[in-house]
Chains A and B, each alone.
Chain A
Amino acid sequence: MSGPVVVSARPTLAVRVRRVWAYRELLVGLVRKELKVKYKNSVLGFAWSMLNPALYLLVFWFVFEKVLRNGVPQFPIFLLSGLLVWNLFSVAVGAATGSIVDNAGLIKKVAFPREVLPLASVGAAVVHFFLQLVVLVVALFGFRSDIAWSYVPLLPLALVVVIVLAAGVGVLLSALNVYLRDIKHVVDLLLLAWFWFTPIVWQFRSLADPGTAAERLGLLNPITPIVLTFQRALYARLETESGPILPDWTVAHHLSLLLVVFALGIVLVVVGEIVFGRLEGDFAEEL
C-alpha cells in the first residue's frame, strides 16, 4: 500500500500537513464527537447552542433599550455581530490549548497526527458559531435591521481569517501546554483581557478617531479588523446622534486589513506547526 516510512524521523512540515489531510475524516469525527458528547442526554440538544445567544439578545435588548439607554440603537444586534465571531476565536483557542493534555490517554496509546486534536477543538467552535449565527440572522430580520450588503461578501473571508488565526494559536499553545500546564490558566485570563481590548461591547469609533494613535493601537489587535468587518456588514450604522460608532472604511480597506491578519494567521500556523513538530515527539512521555 505504502512505501517504507522512517518512523523515527521528525517529519517535515510538508509531510505533517499531508498527514493531517489524510486524517481529515478523523477531524470531522472528533468534531462530531465533541458536539454529540456535549449534548448527549439533553432533551434540547443543539438548541442549547442557540438558546445562549437568544437569551443574550433578550437580556441586552431589555437592559440597553429600556434601562441603560447607551445611545446605540439596536445594541443587541451590534453586540452579537461582534460577539459571535469573538466567541468563535476564544472558545476555539481555549479548548485547543487543553486538547492535548485532555486526550493524554489517546496520545499515549495511539499513533495519529496529534494536530488533529487542537484542530478539532477549532472545528467544534466553528460549528457552534454557525448555530449561533442562525439566531443572529433571525434577529436581524426580527429587528428589521439594516444590512450593508456590499460588505457581506467579506464575511466568508473574515471567517476563514479567524479560523486560521485560531488554528495557529491553538496548535502552538496546545503543544506548549504539555510542558507548562500554567499556559491553560494564563490563556483563560488573557482571553478575558483580550475581549475587552476588542471593540465588541464598546464602539471602535467612540474611542479611536481616524488617524490617531488610538486607532493604530486598536488595529494592532488582529481580531479587531475581523470584528469590525462583521459589525460593518451586519450592523451597518456608522454613527448615531451621540457620536460615531464604526469607521467609514471602504470594502477595499476592510479587505486589505483582513489580508494582513490572514498573513499573520498563516505565519502563526507555520510557527505553531514547527513548534508542535519539535515538541510532539515527547508528548507521550511528558503526559
Chain B
Amino acid sequence: MRHAIEIRGVEKQFRLRHEKSLKERVLRVGRSQPDEFWALRDIDILVETGSTLGLVGHNGSGKSTLLKCVAGILRPTAGTIVTTGRVAALLELGAGFQPDLTGRENVFLNGSILGLSRKEIAGRFDDIVAFSELEQFIDTQVKHYSSGMFVRLGFAVAVNLDPAILLIDEVLAVGDEAFQRKCIDRVREFQREGRTIVFVTHSMTQVQEICDRTVVLDHGIMVADDEPAAAIRTFREHLYAKQSQLAEGATGSGRNTGAVRDSRRTPPTERELQATKRVTLTDVVFEYPQSDERGHVLASEPFAIRVRYRSQERVDDLMCGIGIHDTTGRLLFGSNTKFLGVALPTVDGEGEIVLRFPSLPLLGGDYRLSVALQSDDETVVYDWSEQRHQIAVLPVDRSHGVVALNMTVEV
C-alpha cells in the first residue's frame, strides 16, 4: 500500500525565548537559558493514500504542531516527513486575506499563495464563488465582510485547490451549521475521490463521522493509533484517568463519581438552595461494568448509579429522582422512584439506593446527571445535586445524534 504521508521518528523541540531586541539579548547574555520543551516526541505515522486520519488530543498535545510540520510550515527537530502529491493546509481560513482588497482580488492572491497559477484560479473562480455563496459581495472589499463570510470564502478557495493531501486544523468548527454541513459534505466528496485527509478536531462526533483512523496525542506523545471508536475510548480513558488522579490528589476521594462541577465554584441552583438537608446526599457513585476504575460506559453495557444518603431523623416519605442531561443542559431523561412504583422504606441514618440500567441507550458523548432527594409529594426538597456529575458514554459505532436506537439492517 502506498503512503501519502510518512512520518518517521519526528520530534519537535520548541525554545521559548522572550527577548527579541538587541538590548534585551545583551542584557541577558549568559543568564538566559532558553526554556525548552518537546512539543512532539517520537511520532511515527503512516497515512495510506486515500485514507482519512483524525488527530485528537487536549490543547497543547501537539496536534497542530504535527500538522504544521507535515504542511512544511515548521521544520521538525528530528525525523523525516515525506509527502506525495500536492498538499493543501487549512490551518486558518482566509489566512493572508488582505482587508483592503476585494473578494475577487483576494481569491486570486490567496490561490497563488496556496500554490495555484492564475489560470488555474480563473478556471475555478466560478466554483469558488458558488461554494462561498458570496456572489453579491465578491467585488466588495473583504474588510466589510462578516467573520462568517470571511471564513466561507477562505474555505471555498482551499477546497478548490485540487490537493492530493488536505490538512485541516479545527476549521470545520466555524461558520453556521448549514455551512459546516456543506464543508463536511465536501470533505466526504474528497474521500470518495481518493484524496488523503488529515484533520485535527476536538469533536468526537466528527472523528467518528469522518475518520478511518485516529491518532491520539498527549503532551507530544502518541498514546493511540487505532480505528476511531477504539482511539476515542483510549483518549477518554487517558483523560479521565488524569482527571481522577487530580481529584484524588485534591480531595482523597470522589472516585468514579464523575464529579465535574465543584459546588464551591459553581453557584447552587434554585432547587439546590431549597434543600432542607433533612436527608443529605453523601455520595453518588457510578458502577461501571467490569471495572469500577474505568470512568466510562458503552451504550450497550449495563450501568448503575448508587445514591448514598444520610438522614438526620426518621423520614417516611423519601423519594429519589434523577435526570440525565446533555452538555447543553437539555433534559434527556428524568424519572424517580415514585414513577417507577417503588415506595422507599422509612429511612433513619445512612443508606443507599441503587438505580440500574440494563443498558444506556445513548450515543457517544458526555452527559450530566442530576440527583434529587424529595418528599414523595414533591413539596419538600431534602437535597438536590444539579448536573454536578458527568457520565461519559463511549461510542460503539459511528452513528451520530443522541439516542442509540437499536437499528438492524436487512437486505
| Bound Cα distance A107, B92 (Å) | 11
Residues of B within 8 A of A251 (CB): none
Kindly supply a per-residue 1/0 record for chain B positions 21-62, scoring 1 wherever the CB is within 8 Å of any chain A CB and 0 otherwise. Answer: 111010000000000000000000000000000000000000
Near A by CB (< 8 A), chain B positions 52-91 give 68-76, 79-87, 89, 91
> Are A6 and B84 in contact, CB atoms less than 8 angstroms apart?
no
In residues 1-25 of chain A, which contact B (Cβ within 8 Å)?
1-10, 22-23, 25
* A-B contacts at CB below 8 angstroms, number: 112
Q: Does B312 contact A (CB under 8 A)?
A: no
Q: A4 to B113, Cβ gap below 8 A?
A: no
Give the dominant DSSP class at B's interface: mixed
Q: Which residues of A contact B113 (CB under 8 A)?
A: 26, 29, 106, 110, 112
Residues A5 and B83 in contact in the complex (CB < 8 Å), given A23-B115, A105-B95, A105-B96:
yes
How far is it, in angstroms, between the C-alpha of A281 and the C-alpha of B96 when the chains are bound? 19
A181 at the interface (CB under 8 A from B): yes
A241 within 8 Å of B (CB atoms): no
**Residue B118 at the chain A interface, CB threshold 8 Å:** yes
Chain B, range 106-128, C-beta contacts under 8 Å to A: 108-109, 112-115, 117-118
For the complex, give the distance between the alpha carbons of A2 and B165 in Å. Answer: 12
In angstroms, how far is the closest chain B Cβ from the Cβ of A32?
8
Interchain CA distance A30-B22 in the complex, whole Å: 31
List the A side residues contacting B91 at CB < 8 Å: 108-110
With A1-B86, A110-B96, A110-B114 given, is the CB distance from A33 to B109 under 8 Å? yes
B132 to chain A, nearest CB (A): 18
Interface 1/0 per residue, A164-208 and B, CB below 8 Å = 000000000000000111100000000000000000000000000
A3, B20: Cβ atoms under 8 Å? no
**Interface pair A8/B75, CB less than 8 Å apart:** yes
Contact assessment for A37 and B80 in the assembled complex, using a CB-CB cutoff below 8 Å: no
Q: How far is the CA of A22 from the CA of B86 in the complex (A)?
A: 13
Please tell me if the beta carbons of B25 and A9 are within 8 angstroms of each other in the complex. no
Q: Which of B97-105, B236-244, B346-354 contacts A (4 or more CB under 8 A)?
A: B97-105
Q: Which residues of B contact A41 (CB under 8 A)?
A: 100
Which of chain A's residues have a CB closer than 8 A to the CB of B92? 109
Is B198 among interface residues, defined by CB-CB distance under 8 A?
no
* Bound CA–CA A26/B81 (angstroms): 26
The complex places the Cα of A85 from the Cα of B402 at a distance, in Å, of 70
Is the CB–CB distance between A111 and B80 below 8 Å? no
Asked whether any CB of chain A lies closer than 8 Å to the CB of B357, the reply is: no
Centre residue among B21, B101, B112 by max chain A CB count within 10 A = B112
A33 touching B80, Cβ below 8 Å? no
When C-beta atoms are compared, the residue in chain B nearest to A27 turns out to be: B112
Residue interface bits B7-23, CB-to-A below 8 A is 1, else 0: 00010001100001111
CB pair B68 A37 closer than 8 Å = no
A253 CB within 8 Å of chain B: no
Residues in A with CB closer than 8 Å to B98 are 33, 37
Choose among B71, B82, B86, B100 the residue that contacts A6 (Cβ–Cβ < 8 A).
B82
Contact status A2-B86, CB under 8 Å: yes
B393 close to chain A: CB less than 8 A:
no
Write the chain A residue with the least CB distance to B68: A284
Query: Is A146's CB within 8 Å of the partner chain B?
Result: no
Interfacial chain A residues near B76, Cβ < 8 Å: 8
Q: Is the CB of A111 within 8 A of B89?
A: yes
Q: Are B109 and A181 in contact (CB under 8 A)?
A: no
B129 at the interface (CB under 8 A from A): no
B96 touching A108 by the CB < 8 A rule?
no
Cβ A7 vs Cβ B69 within 8 A = yes
Q: Say if the beta carbon of B164 comes within 8 Å of chain A.
A: yes
Q: Cβ of A2 and Cβ of B85 under 8 Å apart?
A: yes
Assess whether A109 is in contact with B95, with CB atoms less than 8 Å apart: yes
Interface flag for A209 (CB, 8 Å): no
Interchain CB contact under 8 A, A6 and B21: no
- Closest chain-A Cβ to B127's Cβ sits at a distance in Å of 19
Residues of the B chain whose Cβ atoms lie less than 8 Å from the Cβ of A4: 82-84
Contact A180 B21 (CB under 8 A): yes
Give the Cβ gap from B155 to chain A, nearest Cβ, in Å. Answer: 14
Q: Does A40 contact B (CB under 8 A)?
A: yes
Q: Which of A6, A8, A106 contacts B69 (CB 8 A)?
A: A8
**A residues near B82, Cβ cutoff 8 Å:** 4-8
Chain B CB within 8 A of A248 CB: no
- Please tell me if the beta carbons of B108 and A29 are within 8 angstroms of each other in the complex: yes
A22–B20 alpha-carbon span in the complex (Å) = 33
Complex CA gap A3/B83 in Å reads 8
Which residues of the other chain, B, contact A107 by a CB distance below 8 angstroms?
73
Closest chain A residue, CB of each to CB of B76: A8
A111 touches B71 (CB 8 A): yes
| 0 or 1 for each of B374-407: is its CB under 8 Å from A? (1 = yes) | 0000000000000000000000000000000000
A40–B100 CB distance below 8 A: yes
- State which residues 60-116 of A face B: CB under 8 Å: 103, 105-112
Among A33, A180, A282, find the residue whose CB has the most chain B CB atoms closer than 10 A: A33
CA distance A1 to B23 in the complex (A): 49
User: Contact: A10 with B114, CB < 8 Å?
Assistant: no
- Interface centre among A36, A109, A284, by most B CB within 10 Å? A109
Offer 19 A-B interface pairs, CB within 8 angstroms, sorted by A. Answer: A4-B83, A5-B82, A9-B80, A23-B112, A25-B118, A36-B100, A36-B105, A40-B100, A40-B141, A106-B96, A106-B113, A109-B96, A110-B95, A111-B71, A111-B87, A180-B20, A180-B21, A180-B25, A281-B75
Binding site for A on B (CB under 8 A): 10, 14-15, 20-23, 25, 68-76, 79-87, 89, 91-92, 95-96, 98, 100-101, 105, 108-109, 112-115, 117-118, 141, 164
Given contacts A8-B79, A29-B112, 11 further A-B contacts (CB under 8 A): A7-B72, A10-B75, A25-B112, A30-B109, A33-B109, A36-B100, A106-B96, A108-B73, A179-B20, A181-B20, A285-B14
